[in-house]
């Protein structure tokens, strides 16, 4: 009798140990986790192909960056083959994608862009209207009639959106490798009571959803590689053996046969790795060599690598799912669900350390893969990123937003245990800030925090949740959930109290990313001794150190560290001042408005990190000074115009503008660090400098 169980079941070690310190190498990415059990999808009736049309199956293969793209391969007459790109069109691509369960095609590619296939080239000079139920219904030269080579294999890029209720037709051959399985179509069903209560599920039978029925997979030819694939889909980097005394061998009729030694599931076969049981203690914490930046969720971000003590980015040339999965598993996550290209998760700064990375899939670190150390031809517009599969922790069920105008804003309400019962309540708004709001937005899967509110009297939440149940919240920004931040526990203390002072947030799927041009600061820095009688406006705007008040206004002077600064917006949305024009502040001495009281902080630190002098720049004019390529300027200060920085543009403050300095009159000569912090600590950049005598 055949067994329905994988012989290396996905009891994927202790989840917290696998998410360990390495996963904390990213600073701003905690996810919206997918649910294990979803609402039943509506019944989907797939169009029926004419009776005289050959029955085929399709799959997407090759060196791809997402599971919804790849080389088109056709199963016909007992053999997998490819499709030639001659006369192929977007209409044919739509047919391919819909036959695989995707809503539509986004584009198609020619000339074996996903690598050359093998076997016969089944279809050539393919002509589709776009309405066919199957690719086999399109006209062509005939099966196997072609003058093409595999250098002409066609590929498609499908929409990420799936057809609701789509059922993959597996009747051609009832084998698991032919199923186009998505993560929502597979589950790990716990059978032990102790594992049923755990979140996430880490041990149980592997089951695949076919139509409305869940079916187990017989373990004929099942290997550790297959278990690794399933574990990777659910966010775990590896697998371990299961207890054969608990999981008995049986093969009921309601199963799917796994007759191929390396079934592909969702992950391409290049990722199947021989991994044994992991029973040893986890290694001691070490400085990570890779980290993620700029993502909204856990397991998502721009890939950065540490080399010679300096963090740098990775060029996206030849970047694919295989290499991305090495990064994900190195950080303690599962396999990659997308290899992100084109700096879509923000542009980095500094060097580009790696280019043309080619991994086999069995490397423990991205630096073990083949790569080109030369970054010639690459720039930060080509920074590579990843989106990893992460465990379903269920943390979003313990937090909610209420009363907002849309799902992305509202009063923060948390689920806590009080007197043996779970109750919803408010969070005290006292000292509530943008860092705490960031944790909330990421926990709920709503992206970045755009605003944090200490009063929410204008948002009417659930009347049964008007009691404050959490106070004193202080987050570092890397927590998995708000409950992981420091807080007062059951000793709630909210002096202002009342419904009016509940904490609130506004979230956004995108965010600006303000980056300092450090090279410009270095090139333009100089010292100036400036007379006090020329600094009266600067005194009014607090641009001088406190000792300036005791300096003689007629004969005294101040020593200023002056420089130009250029702030780039490399993010995914425009940067705008928080206040509208109605709230801008008029400064009579300089005769201009400030849209933000402080746009950039300038800090001079000693080598121990202690601040010894500081300056700041209020945004009297925040505009698009220059933009990249053909990006259009949107913000200009003239005539009381709108202020901000467009994506791909930068704002320039020249060294000769008032307050564009740090007053170092009281600082003794020596070596110091100069730190520039644009816009509420969104990004820090430190430079070495020396104070002259």
Q: Check whether residue 369 and residue 434 sit in a common domain.
A: no
Q: Check whether residue 193 and residue 307 sit in a common domain.
A: yes
**Residues 334-369 as b or e (16 or more Cβ within 10 Å = b):** bbbbbbbbebbbbbbbeebbbbbbebebebeebbeb
Q: Quick check: is 47 in a domain?
A: no
- At 416, which helix (H) or strand (E)? strand 409-418
Give the CA distances from residue 125 to residues 129, 143, 457, in Å, rounded to whole numbers and listed in that order. 13, 11, 65
Phi, psi (deg, nearest 5) at residue 657? -85, 140
Q: Quick check: is 619 in a domain?
A: yes
Q: Quick check: is 525 in a domain?
A: yes
Q: DSSP class of residue 181?
A: -
Which pair of tokens denotes residue 647?
């994506």
Q: Give the pLDDT confidence of 141-175 residue by residue, as tens digits.
A: 999 999 999 999 999 999 988 888 777 665 665 44
Q: Which of 508, 534, 568 is the last residue of a domain?
A: 508
Q: Check whether residue 273 and residue 190 sit in a common domain.
A: yes
Q: Quick check: is 52 in a domain?
A: no
Q: Give the pLDDT confidence of 650-669 residue by residue, as tens digits.
A: 888 888 888 889 999 999 99
Q: Quick check: is 46 in a domain?
A: no
Q: Check whether residue 552 and residue 683 sit in a common domain.
A: yes
Q: Quick check: is 75 in a domain?
A: yes
Confidence of residue 690 (pLDDT cuts 50, 70, 90): very low
pTM above 0.85, yes or no: no
Q: How many CB atoms lie within 10 A of CB 673?
A: 17
- C-alpha 641/C-alpha 639 separation (Å) is 5
Q: Check whether residue 472 and residue 580 sit in a common domain.
A: no
- At 121, which helix (H) or strand (E)? strand 121-123
**CATH number, domain with residue 318:** 3.10.250.10
**Domain around 423:** 395-508
Give the CA distances from residue 473 to residues 416, 434, 464, 582, in Å, rounded to whole numbers and listed in that order. 14, 12, 22, 32
Q: Supply the pLDDT for residue 162.
A: 86
Q: Quick check: is 339 in a domain?
A: yes
Q: DSSP class of residue 49?
A: P
Q: Check whether residue 388 and residue 416 sit in a common domain.
A: no
Please report, in angstroms and rounded to a whole number, the separation of the first and last CA atoms in the chain: 87
- C-alpha 285/C-alpha 21 separation (Å) is 7
Q: How many domains does the chain have?
A: 4
CB distance 507 to 447 below 8 Å: yes
Q: Check whether residue 370 and residue 225 sit in a common domain.
A: yes
Q: Which of 163, 198, 215 is the last residue of a domain?
A: 163
Distance of CA 328 to the CA centre of its chain: 12
Q: Give the pLDDT confidence of 255-272 residue by residue, as tens digits.
A: 554 443 333 333 222 222
Q: Check whether residue 433 and residue 546 sit in a common domain.
A: no
Q: Supply the pLDDT for residue 23.
A: 33
Q: Check whether residue 262 and residue 186 sit in a common domain.
A: yes
- At 90, which helix (H) or strand (E)? helix 90-99
Q: Give the pLDDT confidence of 387-425 residue by residue, as tens digits.
A: 999 888 888 888 999 988 888 899 999 999 888 888 999
Q: Give the pLDDT confidence of 43-96 residue by residue, as tens digits.
A: 556 677 788 889 898 989 887 888 889 999 999 988 899 999 999 999 999 999
Q: Quick check: is 50 in a domain?
A: no
Q: Check whether residue 210 and residue 341 sit in a common domain.
A: yes
Closest CA to 428 of 454, 446, 399: 454
Q: Which of 118, 138, 163 is the last residue of a domain?
A: 163
Q: Check whether residue 381 and residue 407 sit in a common domain.
A: no
Q: Supply the pLDDT for residue 596.
A: 67
pLDDT at 32 over 60: no
For 13-17, 183-187, 582-586, which range has the lowest pLDDT when averaged over its residues?
13-17
Confidence of residue 185 (pLDDT cuts 50, 70, 90): confident
Q: Supply the pLDDT for residue 451.
A: 86
Q: Give the pLDDT confidence of 552-607 residue by residue, as tens digits.
A: 888 899 999 999 988 888 777 888 887 777 777 776 676 666 666 667 888 888 88
pLDDT at 455 over 80: yes
Helix spans in 391-531 (H)? 434-443, 518-524
Q: Check whether residue 326 and residue 455 sit in a common domain.
A: no
Length, in residues, of the chain: 693
CB distance 503 to 429 below 8 Å: yes
Which pair of tokens denotes residue 194?
């102790």
Q: What percent of the chain has pLDDT over 70?
A: 79
Q: Supply the pLDDT for residue 173.
A: 55
- C-alpha 18/C-alpha 200 separation (Å) is 13
Who's near 73: CB < 8 A, 6+ residues apart? Answer: 58, 59, 60, 61, 80, 81, 82, 83, 117
């Amino acid at each position: 009798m055949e067994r329905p169980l994988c012989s290396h079941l996905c009891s994927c070690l202790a989840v917290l140990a696998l998410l360990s310190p390495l996963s904390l190498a990213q600073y701003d990415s905690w996810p919206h986790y997918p649910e294990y059990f979803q609402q039943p999808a509506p019944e989907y009736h797939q169009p029926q192909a004419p009776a005289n049309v050959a029955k085929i199956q399709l799959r997407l293969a090759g060196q791809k960056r997402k599971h919804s793209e790849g080389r088109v391969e056709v199963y016909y007459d007992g053999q997998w083959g490819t499709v030639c790109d001659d006369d192929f069109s977007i209409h044919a691509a739509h047919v391919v994608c819909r036959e695989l369960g995707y809503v539509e095609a986004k584009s198609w590619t020619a000339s074996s862009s996903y690598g050359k296939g093998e076997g016969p080239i089944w279809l050539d000079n393919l002509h589709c209207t776009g309405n066919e139920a199957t690719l086999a219904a399109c006209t062509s030269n005939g099966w196997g009639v072609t003058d093409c080579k595999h250098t002409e294999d066609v590929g498609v890029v499908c929409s990420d959106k799936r057809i609701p209720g789509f059922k993959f037709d597996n009747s051609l051959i009832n084998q698991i490798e032919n199923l186009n399985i998505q993560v929502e179509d597979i589950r790990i069903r716990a059978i032990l009571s102790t594992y049923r209560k755990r979140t996430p599920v880490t041990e149980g039978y592997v089951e695949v959803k076919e139509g409305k029925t869940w079916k187990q997979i017989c373990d004929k030819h099942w290997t550790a590689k297959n278990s690794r694939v399933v574990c990777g889909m659910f966010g775990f980097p590896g697998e371990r053996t299961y207890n054969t005394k608990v999981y008995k061998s049986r093969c009921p009729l309601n199963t799917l046969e796994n007759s191929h030694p390396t079934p592909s599931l969702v992950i391409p076969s290049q990722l199947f790795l021989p991994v044994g049981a992991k029973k040893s203690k986890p290694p001691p914490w070490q400085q990570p060599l890779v980290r993620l930046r700029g993502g909204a969720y856990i397991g998502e971000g721009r890939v950065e690598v540490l080399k010679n003590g300096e963090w740098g980015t990775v060029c996206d040339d030849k970047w694919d799912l295989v290499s991305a999965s090495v990064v994900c598993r190195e950080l303690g996550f599962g396999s990659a669900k997308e290899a992100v290209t084109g700096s879509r998760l923000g542009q980095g700064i500094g060097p580009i350390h790696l280019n043309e990375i080619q991994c086999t899939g069995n490397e423990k670190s991205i630096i073990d893969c083949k790569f080109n150390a030369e970054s010639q031809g690459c720039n930060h517009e080509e920074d590579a990123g990843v989106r990893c599969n992460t465990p379903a922790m269920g943390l979003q069920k313990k937090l909610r937003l209420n009363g907002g105008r849309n799902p992305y804003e509202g009063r923060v309400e948390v689920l806590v245990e009080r007197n043996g019962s779970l109750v919803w309540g408010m969070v005290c708004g006292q000292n509530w800030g943008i860092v705490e709001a960031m944790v909330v937005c990421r926990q709920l899967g709503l992206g970045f925090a755009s605003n944090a509110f200490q009063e929410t009297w204008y948002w009417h939440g659930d009347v049964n949740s008007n009691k404050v149940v959490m106070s004193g919240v202080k987050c570092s920004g890397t927590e998995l959930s708000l409950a992981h931040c420091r807080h007062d526990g059951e000793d709630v203390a909210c002096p202002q109290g009342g419904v009016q002072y509940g904490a609130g947030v506004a979230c956004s799927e995108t965010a600006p990313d303000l980056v300092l041009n450090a090279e410009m600061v270095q090139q333009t820095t100089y010292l100036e001794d400036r007379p006090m009688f020329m600094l009266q406006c600067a005194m009014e705007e607090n641009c001088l150190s406190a000792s300036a008040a005791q300096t003689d206004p007629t004969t005294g002077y101040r020593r200023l560290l002056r420089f130009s600064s250029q702030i780039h917006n490399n993010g995914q949305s425009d940067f705008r001042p928080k206040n509208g024009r109605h709230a801008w502040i008029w400064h009579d001495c300089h005769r201009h408005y400030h849209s933000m009281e402080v746009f950039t902080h300038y800090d001079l630190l000693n080598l121990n990190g202690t601040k010894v002098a500081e300056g700041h720049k209020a945004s009297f004019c925040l505009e698009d000074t220059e933009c990249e390529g053909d990006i259009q300027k949107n913000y200009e200060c003239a005539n009381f115009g709108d202020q901000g920085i467009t994506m791909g543009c930068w704002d320039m403050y020249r060294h000769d503008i008032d307050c564009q300095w740090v007053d170092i009159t009281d600082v003794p000569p020596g070596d110091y660090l100069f730190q520039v912090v644009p816009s509420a600590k969104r990004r820090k950049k430190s430079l070495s400098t020396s104070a002259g005598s």
